[in-house]
Structure 1
Amino acid sequence: MVMDHVTTLECTICGAEYDPEQVIYTCPEHEGVAGILEVKYDYDVIAENFDADLDGDIRSQWKYAAFLPVDDDAEPVTLNEGGTDLFDAPNLSEALGVETLVKDDGRNPTGCFKDRASSIAVTKAKHAGRDIITCASTGNAAASLSGYAARGGLDCRIFVPGDAPEGKLAQPLVYGADVLAVDGTYDEAYDLSVEVTEEYGWYNRNAAINPFQVEGKRTVGHELAEQSVVRGEVPDWVVFSMGDGCTIAGAWKGFREFYELGHVEDTPKMLGVQAEGASAIHDAFHKHDDTDDLADTIADSIAVGRPRNTLKACRALEESGGASLLVSDDEILEAEKLLGSTEGIYSEPAGATPVAGVETALAEGVIDSDETVVVTSTGFGLKDTASAKQATADAHRIPPHLEAVQELFGTSAE
């Protein structure tokens, strides 16, 4: 087992270091899961091994294998995740009043951004000789992990809150996972998954505590940097919704790495968007005292009351010179409809939350109308059709007669 490019796992609180070859989740010097670990690299080794052309031809995230924390002799478990398109969005730009591009990660194999992390998790679990892998999820990570576990030949046991959308529960069941719907919140399901990991020794994919999962997510930053090189312009802002905080942290780390290695000339500011009913990272970033650890939002993928990667997320916002803000559930639903009706991109609520964030940021003067913005849609809309129905009008129910159509749209032109 060799990872010459990975130097250590470092506690984000106390700086204690641990062997990256061992299976360890958090720093044992801190109670609970507070001691989140950061993967540290030898970038000279990475630079020696990364010789890919930055030509925009990104078949999968494994184009950046030199950056990924897997052993040299590990066989990647992959479904060709990553390599998602960065779309010009002229109709959305006109509607918002600012030049906007869309990074559509809902096009990943299981329909969500989290495939980037799941590929790493299953690759590492299989290489370590683990037969069972687990995680807690509001739905997307569960579906994603189940698909990759099936691909890798591992058993998968996942914990979800009892109110997770049916579409997201159907996926892992089709993939053959054992789905345990916990009578409680996501945070309670999460705590149980950690307890079970300690009891049974299953490999835990939870991105909030497994230090290697953020590293898979950071490939979206690598891709955005490469796509910026091809376009000849680094966007002023990159916008993500925030739940546990590891997605925006990973994206910033990836883009920053390409900047520090000289592959791109500048970095964007990161804008993190949370729902009003799940605002813990925003509250921490703005140093609010009146925080609530209960999550209540229609955007189930970011319905996290006690995010474990708050520190990493806030660090990404601070280092990039970015910002965070809140949007309402109504604004999220309107954004879902707006993204679909202007650009034909169908996102689940959490995936459309960045669009709502851009509208709010423009209104509050956080983003200027002459800047360029990338919004990242993290999940495909068919995962949560019930929410989409709340954002749209009902279908027109008509009899099978021409007159019924004429009543709606008038008679045809002569």
Structure 2
Amino acid sequence: MALDHVETLECTVCGATYDPDQIIYTCPEHDGVAGILEVVYDYDVIHDRFDAPLDGDIRSQWKYQAFLPVDTEATPVALNEGGTDLLDTPRLGAELGVDINVKNDGRNPTGCFKDRATSVAVTKARHAGQDVVTCASTGNAAASLAGYAARAGLDCRIFVPESAPEGKLVQPRVYGADVLAVAGSYDEAYDLSMDVTDSYGWYNRNAAINPFQIEGKRTVGHELAEQTQDSIPDWVVFSMGDGCTIAGCWKGLREFAELGYVDDTPKMLGVQPEGASAIHDAFHGHDEVDDVADTLADAVAVGRPRNTLKACRALAESGGTALTVTDDDILAAETLLGRAEGIYAEPAGAAPIAGIRRAREQGIISRDESVVAVVTGIGLKDTAGAERAVGDVIRIEPTLDDVTNQYGTAKKERRGRS
């Protein structure tokens, strides 16, 4: 085994350490999933191995393989994940009153950010000789895991809440996964997936507890650090569900700054729907937390986030903050992103845009600051949500008169030769 760049797995609660070569999800010294584990690295080894130039040429996240917690002898299970463009979005910026760029991770192989984590998880599962992979999901992780399991030749069994969008459940079935719709919430589907993992020994991809999932997600931080090295943004904005995505990005950004690859780090802004605000509430010290999620942004509809500690730590260490937005705000942001820049995001992917608008209104982000918003999923994941935000199709007869009634008399243009 060649995993010498990983020193240990450390409990975020009690500091107990565990062998990174074993399959372990949480610290057994704690009830439930309170003992989330952190991957601790030997950065001297990583620095010696990482010789890729920071030239902005990012073909995939595996450019940063030296940072990933996989055996150097393992063959990556990859579908060209990561390496997403950072887009200049001036029309969106004019609408929001801020200098903004968008990193569109909806362009990942299965249409969502989660492919970054799944590639690492399935690589580790296959290298460890596992035959079956599983997770709980509201749809995106299900499709992601199913796609990569198919790529690796592994069986895949997914647990989803019965309320998951039907459109999201077709994709994993096309990839050949068994999709088990649980008569209950996401949290109940999650708990069942954990029970099954304990009973059957299937490899569990659940990003909330699998310590290696955040490590794949942190490549977005590496990419952003490289892509913005000449002009570090003031803010990076994510929607938050379980909390591991924003925590992973911050870890990647912080690593590149601490290693001296870039000069500074941005502040992190975490955005949650009002109906699923547990991390926001914890960060701001609210005592009472509603553990029942109620939001149309199903990808972040998490009532009991398992990575609250890591997410809050990322917000605090970066000097950032968290805020909430309404579902109506999210729908408005989805259509704004589409009509202003031609980017089609699912509701959770559009939530950062709603959050930036709210942050501008509250004075959290000022006009002279720069912002990067990360879109985490393509809108084709949830067309039903988008239908609520747009008008009906305009129906006409197949006649020019009906077009004229709609748009007025046509103006003919003469074209001459110069």
One fold, TM greater than 0.5? yes
Tell me, in whole angstroms, the C-alpha distance in 2 between the residues paired with 1:287 and 1:138: 28
Question: Among the aligned pairs, what percent are the same residue?
Answer: 73
Q: What residue is the counterpart of 1:152 in the other structure? A: 152
Q: What residue is the counterpart of 1:69 in the other structure? A: 69
Q: What residue is the counterpart of 1:404 in the other structure? A: 402
- Superposition misfits of 4+ residues, deviation over 2 angstroms: none
2:166 is the counterpart of 1:173: no
Deviations 1:332-366 (A, max 9, x none): 00000000000000000000000000000000010
2:60 is the counterpart of 1:60: yes
Q: Which one-letter code corresponds to 1:373 in the other structure?
A: V
Tell me, in whole angstroms, the C-alpha distance in 1 between the residues paired with 2:56 and 2:386: 33
Q: Which runs of 5+ in 2 are unaligned?
A: 413-418
Q: Please give the secondary structure, in 2, of the residue aligned with 1:113.
A: coil
Tell me, in whole angstroms, the C-alpha distance in 1 between the residues paired with 2:97 and 2:33: 42
**What pairs with 1:233-252 in structure 2 (closer than 5 Å)?**
233-252=231-250
Tell me, in whole angstroms, the C-alpha distance in 2 between the residues paired with 1:56 and 1:11: 35
Q: What residue is the counterpart of 2:34 in the other structure? A: 34
Q: What residue is the counterpart of 1:325 in the other structure? A: 323
**What pairs with 1:249-264 in structure 2 (closer than 5 Å)?**
249-264=247-262
2:230 is the counterpart of 1:206: no
Offset of residue 166 of structure 1: 1.4
Offset of residue 413 of structure 1: 2.0
Match of 1:385 among 383, 386, 391: 383
Match of 2:352 among 351, 354, 364: 354
TM-score under structure 2 length normalisation = 0.98
Deviations 1:290-335 (A, max 9, x none): 2100000000000000000000000000000001000000000000
Q: What residue is the counterpart of 1:17 in the other structure? A: 17
Tell me, in whole angstroms, the C-alpha distance in 1 between the residues paired with 2:384 and 2:95: 25
Tell me, in whole angstroms, the C-alpha distance in 1 between the residues paired with 2:237 and 2:406: 39
Q: Which one-letter code corresponds to 1:138 in the other structure?
A: T
Q: What residue is the counterpart of 2:373 in the other structure? A: 375
Offset of residue 74 of structure 1: 0.5
Q: What residue is the counterpart of 1:190 in the other structure? A: 190
Alpha-carbon RMSD across the aligned residues, in angstroms, is 0.5
Tell me, in whole angstroms, the C-alpha distance in 2 between the residues paired with 1:349 and 1:248: 17
Offset of residue 101 of structure 1: 0.3
Offset of residue 412 of structure 1: 1.0
Offset of residue 32 of structure 1: 1.1
Q: Please give the secondary structure, in 2, of the residue aligned with 1:391.
A: coil
Q: What residue is the counterpart of 1:138 in the other structure? A: 138
Tell me, in whole angstroms, the C-alpha distance in 1 between the residues paired with 2:318 and 2:333: 25
Tell me, in whole angstroms, the C-alpha distance in 1 between the residues paired with 2:247 and 2:323: 16
Offset of residue 169 of structure 1: 0.2
Q: Please give the secondary structure, in 2, of the residue aligned with 1:79.
A: coil
Tell me, in whole angstroms, the C-alpha distance in 1 between the residues paired with 2:372 and 2:24: 35
Tell me, in whole angstroms, the C-alpha distance in 1 between the residues paired with 2:332 and 2:191: 33
Q: Which one-letter code corresponds to 1:206 in the other structure?
A: N
Q: What residue is the counterpart of 1:92 in the other structure? A: 92
Offset of residue 33 of structure 1: 1.1
Tell me, in whole angstroms, the C-alpha distance in 2 between the residues paired with 1:110 and 1:167: 13
Q: Which one-letter code corresponds to 2:216 in the other structure?
A: G
Tell me, in whole angstroms, the C-alpha distance in 1 between the residues paired with 2:79 and 2:192: 29
2:275 is the counterpart of 1:277: yes
2:334 is the counterpart of 1:336: yes
Tell me, in whole angstroms, the C-alpha distance in 1 between the residues paired with 2:303 and 2:337: 27
Q: Which one-letter code corresponds to 2:191 in the other structure?
A: D
Offset of residue 13 of structure 1: 0.2
Offset of residue 118 of structure 1: 0.5
Tell me, in whole angstroms, the C-alpha distance in 2 between the residues paired with 1:364 and 1:56: 34
Tell me, in whole angstroms, the C-alpha distance in 2 between the residues paired with 1:200 and 1:94: 53
Q: Which one-letter code corresponds to 2:328 in the other structure?
A: D
Q: Which runs of 5+ in 1 are unaligned?
A: none
Q: Please give the secondary structure, in 1, of the residue aligned with 2:192.
A: helix
Q: Please give the secondary structure, in 2, of the residue aligned with 1:10.
A: strand
Offset of residue 401 of structure 1: 0.8
Tell me, in whole angstroms, the C-alpha distance in 1 between the residues paired with 2:260 and 2:392: 51
Q: Which one-letter code corresponds to 1:177 in the other structure?
A: A
Q: Please give the secondary structure, in 1, of the residue aligned with 2:388.
A: helix
Equivalenced residues, count: 412
